[in-house]
Amino acid sequence: MRFDPTGKVSLENIYTQPDPRAYFRTLRELDYCIPQLAKPYFTKLVHEYRDVRRVRTPHILDIGCSYGINAALLTCNTTMDGLYERYCDGDAPGLTGDELLARDREWVAGRERPAGARFTGLDASRPAVSYALAAGLLDSAVHADLETCDPTEEQRALLAGTDLVISTGCVGYVTEKTLSRVVEAHGGARKPWMAHFVLRMFPFDAVEESLAAAGYETVHVEGLFKQRRFASAEEQSRVLDTLSSVGVDPSGLEADGWFYARLHVSRPREPERHAVR
């Protein structure tokens, strides 16, 4: 196994395949579940945004969207277990890439939209966002690394229409640089609300300070959320060292074998703001 500087096992290869089967096959073995745990919080935020801002169909930007997992959960009336079955079981392993894509297009075309939202995906992996866009899981996509580059004019126009910004695990690799560029794309227009599930090994202070400077207030939602099991004892040991280095006590949590995340919800300071509970 290869490990990144944080101590996590490197899973980069599963994000760059032409379709999501390797992604689901690998993460199923690790009981990856945080998108499912995030779903009710995102759904509630969409409804709150719609009520407060009076926007009929909010435009969601999913940062680190990979193959459109959050979009699938929120717009296709499915679950993580349903997605694991869809891409790992039955005839899925034997389909060609074109056959899988055609099957997904048919599935998505008949979807319900319980969240009543449009999705733009932002990811540095062109194969992942391309598949999600081709399958119809995303309404639009931004293939970019906003940690290192400003968005193009076309990308800026897509970002400027964002109502809600969400993520389930990329903050820590993505920093305040990306989020600042998303906010800056709005110019003087109404800023988007944000909800980020962030692993406890990644301090959120710099992001919160950057957002505060841009006029945001952040609420740290009560509770912790499982992300996935550790891939090996070595990964766990390395991550426990990282947690220790940032002053986080892993007792009863990461020490018992799972990554855990916190939810941070940030909204512009406005009279219309309602707190998430």
Q: What is the pLDDT of residues 142-160, one digit of tens each?
A: 999 999 999 999 999 999 9
Whole-prediction pTM: 0.94
Residue 238 phi/psi, 5° resolution? -65, -40
Mean of pLDDT values over 183-194: 91
Distance of CA 130 to the CA centre of its chain: 16
Task: Map tokens 């990964």 to a residue.
Answer: 235
Q: Looking at the predicted structure, is the pLDDT value of residue 134 above 60?
A: yes
Strand-pairing partners, residue 244, are none
Torsion 110-114-120-121 (CA) sign: negative
pLDDT higher at 239 or 273: 239
* Statement: residue 24 has pLDDT above 50: yes
Determine the Cα angle at 19 with ends 202 and 15, to 5°: 20
- DSSP alpha helices (H): ranges in the chain? 21-29, 34-53, 69-75, 80-88, 97-109, 126-135, 153-160, 176-184, 205-213, 233-245
The SS3 assignment for 173 reads coil
Looking at residue 274, its pLDDT comes to: 47
In the predicted model, what is the mean pLDDT of residues 231-258?
Answer: 97
The number of helices, as runs of H, and strands, as runs of E, in the chain is: 10, 7
Enumerate residues 6+ apart whose C-beta is below 8 A from 61: 120, 121, 122, 159, 162, 164, 165, 166, 182, 192
Strand partners, 267: 217
